[in-house]
Structure 1
Amino acid sequence: MEQAIAEHPEWLERAGENVRQLYRYWLAKCRGGCLPSRADIDPTDIPRLLPYLTLVEVVADHRRYVYRLVGTKEVEVRGQDPTGKSVAEAFYGPSAEEAHMFYDLAVATGRPVYDDSPFIGADGRYNDDEMLFLPLSDDGERVTRILLISQCSPTPDYA
């Protein structure tokens, strides 16, 4: 990895507690300047965060990114379980292109990518959203998975 990963990135202060906790956990797993692997992430270390986590595999085909594990809170917000589907098929956000942009950036840089831009969802509701994309690697350098935490608060329906 070309440069050290920031211990205190500029967005960390405005991030929610769950995002800060996962970032610090991930950072502690970055040993010797290498990205952590999936095996380095132990769910028993972060049980409170599990409902908000998504694990996405980077694949070398037209799908690009595939959901492999999706937490219960994330499924609840989405209204469906995207496990096994590509990000293009089952993204949650303003567009598949924007979703791919964040994954692409995490893969290209090998660095965390934070997004707290609110958006209007496909259901027409405003979403106050916060996401952190954390790269994982089987060899410490090439990104093979992305660990994602998402905190989303859709506006309630007003009938």
Structure 2
Amino acid sequence: MPDWRDTCHPDVRLVLDYWQEKCAGRLMPARADIDPGDLRRFLPHITLVDVVDDPRRFVYRLVGTSEVELRGFDPTGKSVADAYFASSADAALIQYEATRVGKVPRYVAEPFQVVDRFIGEEDLFLPLSNDGITVNMIMVFSIARDLFSVPREELGS
């Protein structure tokens, strides 16, 4: 079976390569290691989520313009449980929790339905840590498209 890095969108690989470079021999980089200028063309697709020590658990700190447009609202400041963009809150929280616990990049490519449309999405969850041990932020890079804009024959129906 091919590795996901062989089949993912090329921009996903570029963002992963950048994150790995910023690790500089550590398990994961800190937010301070990530220079937005280096990621300029990817910024509309990047979301930063704080890992907090309270019942909210994961809170949107910054949401790229493409992500806001796709959602139809800006979830900045809200918890992932309250403002998720996935098939369910549980589906979203599983990805964030797995990234927090695993402390390694996590790739997810799953289409899902929101309201009256289908979304095809590739997400790369990248843990960040101020102390090199505890994940205190997760950077998510998303490539998404509205599947209703794709001809039905491309969807396999």
Fold conserved between structures, TM > 0.5 = yes
Partner Cα distance (2:51, 2:102) in 1: 14
Q: In the alignment, residue 125 of structure 2 is paired with which amino acid?
A: F
Matched, 1:33 2:19: no
Task: Pick the aligned partner of 2:136 from 127, 133, 144.
Answer: 144
Compute the TM-score of the two structures, normalised by the length of structure 1: 0.89
Q: Unmatched 5+ residue regions in structure 2?
A: 150-157
Deviation at 1:61, TM superposition (A): 0.5
RMSD (CA atoms): 1.3
Task: Pick the aligned partner of 2:89 from 88, 93, 96.
Answer: 96
Q: How many residues align?
A: 148
**Percent identity over the alignment?**
47
Q: In the alignment, residue 140 of structure 1 is paired with which amino acid?
A: G
Deviation at 1:72, TM superposition (A): 0.3
Partner Cα distance (1:22, 1:82) in 2: 23
Matched, 1:128 2:120: yes
Q: In the alignment, residue 124 of structure 1 is paired with which amino acid?
A: D
Secondary structure of 2:141 counterpart: strand
Compute the TM-score of the two structures, normalised by the length of structure 2: 0.91
Deviation per CA, 1:64-114: give whole Å up to 9, x if none. 000000000000000000000000110001000010000000001101111
Structure 1 ranges of 4+ moved more than 2 A: none
Q: Unmatched 5+ residue regions in structure 1?
A: 1-8
